[in-house]
Amino acid sequence: MGGINVDMEHVIGESQEMEKEEEVKPQKSKRVASLDIFRGLTVALMILVDDAGGEWPMIGHAPWNGCNLADFVMPFFLFIVGMAIALALKRIPEKLVAIRKVILRTLKLLFWGLLLQGGYFHDLDKLKYGVDMNRIRLCGILQRIAFAYLVVAVIEITTRQAQSKELPTGWFSIFKLYSWQWVIGACVLVVYLATLYGTYVPDWNFVVQNPDSVDFGKTLTVTCNVRGNLDPPCNAVGYIDRWILGINHMYPRPAWKRSKACTKNSPYEGPFKDDAPSWCWAPFEPEGILSSISAILSTVLGVHFGHVLIHMKDHSSRLLHWICMGIALLVLGIILHFTDAIPLNKQLYTFSYVCVTSGAAALVFSGFYILVDILNLKYLFLPLEWIGMNAMLVYVMAASGIFAGFINGWYYEDPHNTLKADAKVTSGAASWSELNYKCCLWLFDNKLLQMERSLSNMSS
């Protein structure tokens, strides 16, 4: 697992260091501690919502429209990836070398994404892994990050001659300096909106795969025949994924199953209503093709914040730009949502969702920058920094269930007397106790990795 972390930490875990050509002597660079801590916070949020989202739906994914705590995790990752792209690629002078490294890292992310989310562990105690090739999930979190990283990194490489220029005076000078990146971002937005609202969605069929349904094995029909609809069953995002990916290769447990249309227990999970619409049983890909195109925008905005860090040399100028832009994005997204122009929706990755989550990311990072890089209070956030510096390793162990199996494998005298069982007796809540154990063990593991990294640096 350590090899995974070393190979791919640039994308999720590395903010400033990339290798140069072998003939060029590498230079040590100071890491941006606030970015590591922000990354660690995002990973910690991921762990929290995965383990406690069922107990507290308000922190889990919104069933459809809306934005809960869990819905900030993915765009925060993409925003951080964008900042890392700007900071890291400026250290590789040769374009072809940079593109080669970007492609290799993209392929590694795609591989691990398919491995971790394409299959699943049948038995956490024995760590038995299995993949049904007829139903392998083709899209996922790492696949989306890989796609956005590839597109934005190539754009950054091909337009980065701007980094060698001095920043002219004026509020909009940094936008002008990277004008081509904003033009490309605008084109991405136009393509996404035109496809979302202009695609005709016909009726579609699917076979119910859930054995709990009375219609298990039957073919159900969903009636659409609409254009520009943003409801769960008839939107262009789902239609394109069904057409290109195939319905068998999409996520089988979408958040919409907790919607009011499907269950009386909404926003909690629960048995479906007797009159629940047929689409409640259907799969939906939250990291699908069209929504991943929109996700590029989160990474573009992250790159811009990285450019600000590079070109603006004083703290006040950086913070003024970051905070003003963060507030502007938040206000724009909220206005779009509450005027019913474009709803906040993580599943569709709507433009209002991009604005709100990117604005929030900007303000959170600015807060960490003040506390860590200006006030030198990094010691308060050391656990988050340790996690942030090894984010890929933590993610892999969380997504694969290795840590869940590890925790459940510790017992005293009787194999059924595990740490998880003891914690349940003590706290009365299995998910919360398991979460506490995971956090403690992850912090311990990351501290060991931090010590190993320090010893390696001393020896080199």
Distance in angstroms (rounded) separating the CA atoms of residues 384 and 378: 10
Range of 103-107, 164-168, 399-403 with top mean pLDDT = 103-107
Return the higher-pLDDT residue of 359 and 4: 359
What is the model's pLDDT at position 130?
Answer: 61
What is the model's pLDDT at position 137?
Answer: 83
What is the model's pLDDT at position 3?
Answer: 44
Q: Residue 451 pLDDT > 80, yes or no? A: no
Which positions ≥6 away from 278 have C-beta within 8 Å? 215, 220, 221, 222
pTM for the model stands at: 0.84
Both structure tokens of 337: 């949502």
Range of 60-74, 190-204, 392-406 with top mean pLDDT = 190-204
What is the model's pLDDT at position 1?
Answer: 43
Rounded to the nearest 10 degrees, how much is the dihedral formed by the CA atoms of 117, 67, 193, 251? 20
Which positions ≥6 away from 248 have C-beta within 8 Å? 134, 135, 283
Band (pLDDT 50/70/90 cuts) for residue 403 is low
- For 227, the 3-state DSSP assignment is strand
Distance in angstroms (rounded) separating the CA atoms of residues 134 and 250: 11
CB 33 within 8 A of CB 378: yes
Burial class (CB in 10 A: 0-12, 13-18, 19+), 106: buried
Band (pLDDT 50/70/90 cuts) for residue 375 is very high
Band (pLDDT 50/70/90 cuts) for residue 26 is very low
The DSSP result for 443-460, as a single string, is HHHHHHHHHHHHHHHHH-
Q: Residue 41 pLDDT > 50, yes or no? A: yes
Q: Give mean pLDDT, residues 111-138.
A: 66
Q: Which of 7-21, 103-117, 193-207, 213-227 has the lowest mean pLDDT?
A: 7-21
Both structure tokens of 178: 């990277």
Average pLDDT of the chain is: 80
What are the DSSP E strand ranges found in 74-140? 120-123, 128-130
- For 226, the 3-state DSSP assignment is strand
Q: What sign has the CA pseudo-torsion 349, 350, 351, 352?
A: negative
Distance in angstroms (rounded) separating the CA atoms of residues 454 and 458: 6
Max distance between CA atoms of the chain, in angstroms, equals: 71
What is the model's pLDDT at position 14?
Answer: 44
What is the model's pLDDT at position 18?
Answer: 43
What is the model's pLDDT at position 122?
Answer: 46
What is the model's pLDDT at position 428?
Answer: 45
Distance in angstroms (rounded) separating the CA atoms of residues 272 and 208: 14
- For 168, the 3-state DSSP assignment is coil
Q: Residue 73 pLDDT > 60, yes or no? A: yes
* DSSP designation for 10: I
The DSSP result for 253-279, as a single string, is S-GGGGSTTTBTTTTS--PBPTT--GG
* DSSP designation for 69: G
Q: Which amino acid is at 127?
A: L
Listed by start position, the domains of the chain span: 33-190+295-411, 200-281
Distance in angstroms (rounded) separating the CA atoms of residues 338 and 173: 32
Q: What sign has the CA pseudo-torsion 422, 425, 426, 427?
A: positive
Both structure tokens of 16: 């400033």
Q: Residue 459 pLDDT > 80, yes or no? A: no
The DSSP result for 304-319, as a single string, is HHHHHHHH--SHHHHH
Q: Residue 185 pLDDT > 80, yes or no? A: yes
Which positions ≥6 away from 325 have C-beta within 8 Å? 304, 305, 359, 362
> Could you report the per-residue pLDDT of 215-236, keeping only the tens digit for each?
777 888 999 999 999 999 999 9
> Could you report the per-residue pLDDT of 128-164, keeping only the tens digit for each?
556 667 778 888 889 999 999 999 999 999 887 655 5
What is the model's pLDDT at position 210?
Answer: 77
Please state, in angstroms and as integers, the Cα–Cα distance from residue 300 to each residue in 19, 166, 316, 339, 368, following that order. 23, 21, 23, 26, 21
Range of 28-42, 371-385, 411-425 with top mean pLDDT = 371-385
User: In which residue are the tokens 């080199």 written?
Assistant: 460
Q: Residue 6 pLDDT > 50, yes or no? A: no
Q: Residue 358 pLDDT > 70, yes or no? A: yes
Both structure tokens of 366: 């600015």
Both structure tokens of 338: 């509450």
* DSSP designation for 345: B
Q: Which of 46-55, 244-253, 283-292 has the lowest mean pLDDT?
A: 46-55
Q: How far is CA 272 from the centre of its chain?
A: 29
CB 224 within 8 A of CB 201: yes
Distance in angstroms (rounded) separating the CA atoms of residues 261 and 439: 35
Which helix or strand (DSSP H or E) is residue 126 part of? Answer: none
Q: Residue 401 pLDDT > 80, yes or no? A: no
The radius of gyration of the chain from alpha carbons, rounded to an integer in Å, stands at 23
Distance in angstroms (rounded) separating the CA atoms of residues 433 and 32: 33
What is the model's pLDDT at position 452?
Answer: 57
